[in-house]
Structure 1
Amino acid sequence: MTDRVATCRCGQLQARCTGDPVRVSVCHCLACQQRSGSAFAVQARWPDERFELTGTFCEWSRVGDSGGQAIYRFCPDCGSTVAYVNDGMPGVTAVPVGAFADPDFPSPKFSVYEERRHRWVAIVGDDVEHTD
């Protein structure tokens, strides 16, 4: 079974994920744009029993556009978000794909909040589900 390790920029906070993610998605919501500092965010999710977070982290929570709460776990030293959970997907933890620093990471299969997508962004693939 594959182990993947995601880290913050300074390396003190690490997420170890075992096996394949159960979901890889792109989110175009404004909160994800702000969190990632980009036009969209890409995240992968693992069942909590195949996820382990080590190191020191801080938490910050917010209520999302869907009305559910999300709790973000980030490094207190460099500020990188390494994991988060939300009410909409209980029992799984999301990890920003960029934290893996792996250009061969599996591609996303879901693209959500596309009504907020920057018009120059195109998420392509015959097997990608698109939702507003």
Structure 2
Amino acid sequence: MTRTASCACGALKAEVTGEPIRVAICHCHACRTRTGSAFSWNARFAAESVTMTGDSRSYTRIGDEGSEITYHFCPHCGVTVWYENSAVLGIAIPVGAFAPGDLPPPTVSVYDDRKPDWFALADPDIDIWD
């Protein structure tokens, strides 16, 4: 299976083949800031299964665990299309960048202890990482 993730204006794309290694949500402050939401929803793919096209800009920050996280975003519309974490293999892509969004549901909730009090996970089998 091939899927294409894109920024809002379509100038930056990531085409992936195969299924994700992992689909997760994250409740850390940086992910909430990046998405403007209560959490981020991301799919991680093997690096060799991702092909990027278009001009991107990047921003690197140090994560809560000390790793470098580099976001790649469109210089025209500002949407992050993929990111890399120096501590984790693969390329992560925000699920919202895919249309129509036919990815599997998340199996991991990262920084679950930071999620808003009003947010409850419905899946009892999701792996919780505090």
User: What is the TM-score with the length of structure 1 in the denominator?
Assistant: 0.95
Question: Where in structure 1 are there 5+ consecutive unaligned residues?
Answer: none
Structure 2 equivalent of residue 51 of structure 1: 50
| Rounded Cα–Cα distance in structure 2 between residues aligned with 1:62 and 1:30 | 13
Q: By how many angstroms is 1:122 displaced?
A: 1.8
* Residue pairs, 1:37-116, within 5 angstroms: 37-90=36-89, 92-116=90-114
Structure 1 equivalent of residue 14 of structure 2: 15
The one-letter code sitting in structure 1 at the alignment partner of 2:121 is I
Q: Is the 8 A contact 2:4 2:99 kept in 1?
A: no
| Percentage of identical aligned residues | 45
The one-letter code sitting in structure 2 at the alignment partner of 1:26 is I
User: What is the TM-score with the length of structure 2 in the denominator?
Assistant: 0.96
Question: Where in structure 2 are there 5+ consecutive unaligned residues?
Answer: none
Shifted more, 111-120 versus 68-77: the winner is 111-120
1:42-93 CA deviation, whole Å, 9 max, x = no partner? 0001111001110010010000101100000000000000000001203x00
- Report the 3-state secondary structure (helix = DSSP H, G, I; strand = E; otherwise coil) of the residue aligned with 1:45: strand
The one-letter code sitting in structure 2 at the alignment partner of 1:111 is S
Q: By how many angstroms is 1:96 displaced?
A: 0.2
RMSD: 1.0
- Report the 3-state secondary structure (helix = DSSP H, G, I; strand = E; otherwise coil) of the residue aligned with 1:98: helix
